[in-house]
Structure 1
Amino acid sequence: MTPDTYRKTVNVVAVISSAAFAGGGLLILVSYGIRWLGTDPLICRAGFWDEFLNFALTIIPLNLITLVGLVLSVRLDWQNRPVRRLWMWAVWLYVANTLFTLGYFIPQNILLIWDIYTASEASSVRATWLGLHVVRVAIALAVPVLALLAILKHSERTPT
């Protein structure tokens, strides 16, 4: 594989996987999330685990592939400071989103599945969860945008 083919492959992996991850978050927001808000807490709890597990089996690999694509892309542009800066913004947003997910969303999902909350509390938690999920989707959408900007910045030719 030529260096140019490798670069294109790694960059495409970073962009497509991060965009697919963001799209998955958007799907949760506009489908599952909105439906969960209006669903009776007992019904929501009964179907939540299956939906969560099915989605996790899709989204977790995309998340990990995104990490690989971002890290390899940063490595390729490490010596080019303006491009590296864009890649690092994408990496740090990826890390922030992952920490946000691990620190808030996964624990809340588990507590909702375990039925820790009263019906009223569960409704409030689901509303907060969905509101914060908007932030998570916005962060996720920024990652492929920054990756594309880094690719475009790298492809700029300096005048001779």
Structure 2
Amino acid sequence: MTPETYRKTVNLTTVIASAAFAGGGLLILVSYGIRWLGMDSLVWRAGFWDEFLNFALTIIPLNLVTLVGLVLSVRLDWQNRAARRLWMWAVRLYFANALFTLGYFIPQNILLILDSYTASEASTVRATWLGLHVIRVAIALAVPVFALLAVFERSERAAT
């Protein structure tokens, strides 16, 4: 594999994985989220673990592939200041989303899985969780945008 083929493979994998991760977050928001808001709190709490586990088995690998791809892409374009700047924005957004997830969403998911809330508390948690998830999806959608901008920046510089 030539260095340029490797770069294109890494960049393409990064863009696709980050877009799929963002799409997964959007799927949770519009499909599960709408359904969750309409469910009785006790029914929702009872089914949360199964839905969470099924989705986590898909989304976590995409998140990890995105991280590896971002690190490799930054490394490959380190000498190109403009592309590096765009890759670093994607990395910062990735880590902002990861911190948001680790600081709020994972603890809330654990509390939901452990059935730590009453029905009324679970209803409030569900609404807050989904509301904050909008921000998380917006951040996740920005990652592939910055990755694509970095790829295009690199392509434009290589063409001239």
- Same fold, judged at TM 0.5 (above): yes
Q: How does 1:57-72 map to 2 (within 5 A)?
A: 57-72=57-72
Q: Which residue of 1 aligns with 2:41?
A: 41
Structure 1 stretches lacking a partner, 5+ long: none
Q: Which residue of 2 aligns with 1:123?
A: 123
How many angstroms apart in 2 are the aligned matches of 1:115 and 1:143? 33
User: TM-score, length-normalised on structure 1?
Assistant: 0.96
Q: Deviations over 1:126-152 (max 9, x none)?
A: 101000000000000000000000000
Q: Which residue of 1 aligns with 2:94?
A: 94
Secondary structure of residue in 1 paired with 2:39? coil
Q: CA deviation at 1:40?
A: 0.9
Distance verdict in 2 for CA 1:158–1:62, change over 3 Å = closer
What is the aligned length? 160
Secondary structure of residue in 1 paired with 2:65? helix
Q: CA deviation at 1:158?
A: 7.6
How many angstroms apart in 2 are the aligned matches of 1:158 and 1:53? 44
Secondary structure of residue in 1 paired with 2:117? coil
Structure 2 stretches lacking a partner, 5+ long: none
Q: Which residue of 2 aligns with 1:141?
A: 141
Q: Percent identity between the aligned chains?
A: 84
How many angstroms apart in 1 are the aligned matches of 2:157 and 2:41? 57
Moved over 3 A (4+): 157-160
Q: Deviations over 1:42-87 (max 9, x none)?
A: 1011111011001000000000000011100000111111110100
Q: CA deviation at 1:157?
A: 3.6
Distance verdict in 2 for CA 1:157–1:77, change over 3 Å = closer
* Aligned residue identity for 1:57: L
User: TM-score, length-normalised on structure 2?
Assistant: 0.96
Distance verdict in 2 for CA 1:51–1:159, change over 3 Å = closer
Q: Which residue of 2 aligns with 1:2?
A: 2
Is 2:74–2:87's contact at 8 Å kept on the other side of the alignment?
yes
Q: Which residue of 2 aligns with 1:85?
A: 85
Secondary structure of residue in 2 paired with 1:151? helix
> RMSD between aligned alpha carbons?
1.3
Distance verdict in 2 for CA 1:129–1:5, change over 3 Å = same
